C-alpha cells in the first residue's frame, strides 16, 4: 500500500530543462502529506468496507482533492496526475478513484472534518514552534 506520494524533493530551476506541468499541484500533494492530512484521511476511510491492496484511500482522496484544485471537473480529469509519476508517484486508476468516492458514505464524510482538524493542528503547532524559535534566538 502506498502511504505517501512524495517522490523526491522538488527543485525549482529556470534553465528550461525537465519542465513539468502541474508542479504547483504536486506541492499541494506534498503539503497534504507533511501536514498529516493524507494519513488522517486514511484513518477516516479505514472502515469503509473496501480492502485497499495497492492504493491507500487517504492518498486517493487527497489526489482527487488536488485534481479539483488543479481544475478537474470530472473524475476522468484525475488522469492528469497519473500522467506525471515523477511528481505524484503511483496514482490510482480512475476506477479505483471511483470506488473511493463510492465508498465514502455518511460515516466517512462525518470523519473528514476531524481529519482536516488534525492536519490544521499539526500546522499550527509547527508554526508556534517556529515562531518561538525565531523570537528566542538572540540577534546581533
Q: What is the pLDDT of residue 83?
A: 86
pLDDT in tens, 62-118: 888 899 988 899 888 888 888 888 778 888 889 888 888 887 776 667 778 888 888
How far from 84 is each of 5, 12, 23, 62, 114, CA to CA, in Å? 12, 17, 10, 16, 30
pLDDT over 70 for what percent of the chain?
74
Q: Copy the grid coordinates of residue 1.
A: 500500500
Q: Which residues of 83-113 are buried (b: 16+ CB within 10 A; e: fewer)?
A: ebeebbbebbeeebbbbbeebbeeebeebbe
Query: Predicted confidence band at 23 (pLDDT cuts at 50, 70, 90)?
Result: low
Q: Copy the grid coordinates of residue 23.
A: 508542479
pLDDT over 90 for what percent of the chain?
1
Q: What is the pLDDT of residue 130?
A: 87
**If you average pLDDT over residues 111-137, what whole number do you get?**
83
Q: What is the pLDDT of residue 13?
A: 66
Q: Which long-range contacts (CB under 8 A, 24 or more apart) does 132-140 make?
A: none
Phi and psi torsions of 55, nearest 5° = -105, 125
Give CA–CA dist 45/81, Å, rounded. Answer: 21
Amino acid at each position: 500500500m502506498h502511504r505517501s506520494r512524495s517522490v523526491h524533493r522538488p527543485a525549482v530551476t529556470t534553465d528550461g530543462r525537465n519542465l513539468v506541468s502541474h508542479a504547483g499541484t504536486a506541492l499541494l500533494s506534498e503539503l497534504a502529506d507533511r501536514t498529516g492530512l493524507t494519513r488522517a484521511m486514511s484513518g477516516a476511510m479505514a472502515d469503509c468496507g473496501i480492502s485497499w491492496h495497492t492504493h491507500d484511500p487517504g492518498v486517493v482522496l487527497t489526489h482527487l482533492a488536488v485534481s479539483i484544485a488543479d481544475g478537474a471537473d470530472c473524475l476522468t480529469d484525475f488522469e492528469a496526475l497519473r500522467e506525471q509519476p515523477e511528481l505524484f508517484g503511483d496514482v490510482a486508476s480512475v476506477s479505483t478513484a471511483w470506488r473511493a468516492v463510492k465508498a465514502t458514505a455518511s460515516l466517512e464524510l462525518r470523519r473528514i472534518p476531524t481529519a482536516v482538524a488534525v492536519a490544521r493542528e499539526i500546522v499550527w503547532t509547527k508554526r508556534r514552534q517556529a515562531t518561538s524559535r525565531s523570537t528566542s534566538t538572540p540577534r546581533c
